[in-house]
């Protein structure tokens, strides 16, 4: 038997490999005789036609589905069923967890949807267990769509791990581009050590989709895994892709003590929660944590309360102060057009941007299985059908063009956000150089100055964008001039 796991995303850029598929592949490889492979089309420079050739010999095709790429996923699934009608097409991922029945009703070429944690459900399907007895799936019996009982989450994450040999040739040159340029000169590796989040932000589905709990690897297993990866792949920097790295203070201290004893020469990045204790941050810094990111979303106490973030502006300022004192490279994540947000609220958010080495500002997007999504459904502003209307595009922005309750037009915000990024590069040129290196950093500052001056003229900015993509931009971007 053959299982092929694919992230059916074919655009030109991805920020990190789809580690979830690699966890599944490892589990199936170690618990069955099934031949398994993981494919990330972008990193392997494969188009849909080339993948369809591989699918002709596949018994099971597993696709991960994100909201922002759902139409690519289902379009590919349809082509795959034509290429290999006998292949069972199984879809999982965050987008389909609460829409499993609708997905099967809309797309006859999808055979099974796995809801939630997929390792054991997928193994049972491959081993031929009757679908009626596989918890955590929604499936089709002739014309009837059947949703089985939920599967209980496994509390012992040591049962799941990732065999990087399945994907390492493809991710060998992967880099975390949001960090200090000097740290980008060593081998990087993305890693996950926990699942879930206990907090209940209204814009996020993680709490609902991961059983309203946080589960993490034991500190002993974490350090054991880091040691193995350092020795095997000569890794110097790890990027933890955990929604919440610190599950408890005691867990964090134990991890730091064991990491110190292991004497690994590494640095690493984690995402923390505002309000993390200074003593914990200090201890993490001592053992190699050099980069921290945290989701702030808004600088307004009123909006923080509205989205049930569970933090305050005072806590935000205090956590930033502690991190800067300890010498962390800081990343902040923000959103605009949050529910009931006014321009005055956003001014308070914008006050925080300059305090970060790198910040990310996104226009708020709607996702299924979130409290705010259910709120909009109750108001009659949308329904589940919105996810199947291709004319709306892949991303559903909470903008006034689509939702009467929003206070922002997307076109206005995009122009404003561009000006904010450009101003940040000009205001903090040395940070841009630290992030990108000398030549590329100078290029970034120079083009920011020109572009900000020409921003009111669309023709001028279009010309500048063309110039950046041409030989001049490539000249400044080339690393050989740095070396």
Nearest to 6 by CA among 47, 41, 35: 41
Tens of pLDDT, residue by residue over 227-242, are 999 999 999 999 999 9
CATH of domain 2-147: 3.40.50.280
What number is the average pLDDT over the span 206-214? 85
Angle, CA of 440, 443 and 447, to the nearest 5°: 145
* Pair 419, 433: CB distance under 8 Å: no
Q: Alpha-carbon distance 228 to 262, whole Å? A: 11
Record the tokens describing residue 455, joined without a space.
Answer: 């921003």
> Taking the model in full, what pTM does it have?
0.89
Residue 205, pLDDT > 60, answer yes
Q: Alpha-carbon distance 244 to 258, whole Å? A: 20
Residue 157, pLDDT > 80, answer yes
What number is the average pLDDT over the span 439-443? 86
Tens of pLDDT, residue by residue over 380-429, are 999 999 999 999 889 999 999 999 999 999 988 888 888 888 888 888 88
- Number of CB atoms found within 10 A of residue 69's CB: 20
Where in the chain is CATH 3.40.50.280? 2-147
Tens of pLDDT, residue by residue over 30-64, are 999 999 999 999 888 888 999 999 999 899 999 99
Where in the chain is CATH 3.20.20.70? 175-408
CATH of domain 175-408: 3.20.20.70
Q: What is the pLDDT of residue 479?
A: 37
What number is the average pLDDT over the span 372-383? 94
């Amino acid at each position: 038997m053959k299982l092929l796991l694919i992230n059916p995303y074919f655009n030109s850029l991805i920020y990190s490999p789809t580690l979830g598929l690699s966890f599944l592949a490892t589990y199936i490889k170690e618990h069955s005789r099934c031949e398994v492979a993981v494919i990330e089309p972008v990193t392997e420079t494969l188009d849909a036609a080339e993948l369809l050739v591989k699918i002709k010999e596949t018994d099971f095709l597993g696709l991960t589905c994100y909201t922002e790429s759902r139409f690519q996923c289902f379009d590919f699934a349809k082509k795959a069923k034509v290429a290999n009608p006998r292949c069972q097409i199984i879809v999982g991922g965050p987008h389909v967890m609460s829409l499993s029945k609708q997905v099967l009703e809309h797309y006859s070429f999808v055979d099974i949807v796995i809801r939630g944690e997929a390792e054991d459900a997928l193994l049972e399907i491959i081993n031929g267990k009757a679908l009626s007895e596989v918890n955590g799936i929604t499936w089709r019996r002739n014309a009837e769509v059947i949703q089985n009982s939920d599967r209980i989450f496994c509390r012992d994450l040591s049962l799941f791990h990732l065999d990087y040999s399945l994907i390492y040739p493809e991710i060998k040159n992967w880099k975390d581009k949001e960090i200090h340029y000097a740290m980008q000169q060593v081998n990087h590796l993305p890693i996950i050590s926990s699942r879930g989040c206990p907090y209940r932000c209204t814009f996020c589905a993680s709490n609902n989709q991961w059983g309203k709990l946080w589960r993490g690897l034991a500190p002993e297993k974490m350090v054991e895994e880091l040691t193995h990866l350092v020795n095997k792949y000569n890794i110097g920097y790890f990027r933890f892709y955990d929604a919440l790295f610190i599950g408890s203070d005691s867990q964090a201290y134990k991890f730091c003590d064991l990491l110190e004893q292991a004497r690994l020469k590494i640095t690493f990045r984690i995402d923390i929660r505002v309000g993390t204790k200074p003593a914990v941050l200090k201890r993490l810094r001592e053992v190699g944590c050099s980069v921290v990111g945290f989701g702030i979303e808004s600088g307004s106490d009123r909006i923080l309360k509205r989205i049930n973030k569970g933090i305050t502006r005072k806590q935000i300022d205090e956590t930033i102060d502690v991190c800067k004192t300890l010498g962390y490279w800081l990343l902040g994540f923000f959103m605009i057009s949050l529910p009931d947000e006014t321009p005055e609220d956003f001014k308070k958010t914008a006050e925080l941007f300059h305090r970060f080495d790198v910040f990310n500002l996104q226009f708020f997007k709607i996702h299924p299985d979130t409290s705010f999504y259910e709120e909009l459904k109750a108001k009659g502003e949308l329904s589940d059908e919105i996810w199947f209307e291709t004319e709306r595009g892949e991303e559903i922005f909470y903008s006034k063009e689509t939702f009467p309750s929003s206070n922002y037009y997307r076109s206005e915000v995009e122009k404003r956000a561009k000006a904010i990024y450009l101003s940040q590069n000009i205001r903090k040129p040395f940070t841009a150089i630290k992030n990108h290196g000398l030549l590329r950093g100078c290029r970034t500052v120079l083009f920011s100055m020109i572009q900000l001056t020409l921003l009111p003229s669309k023709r001028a900015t279009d010309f500048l964008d063309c110039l950046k993509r041409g030989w001049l931009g490539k000249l400044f971007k080339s690393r050989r001039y740095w070396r």
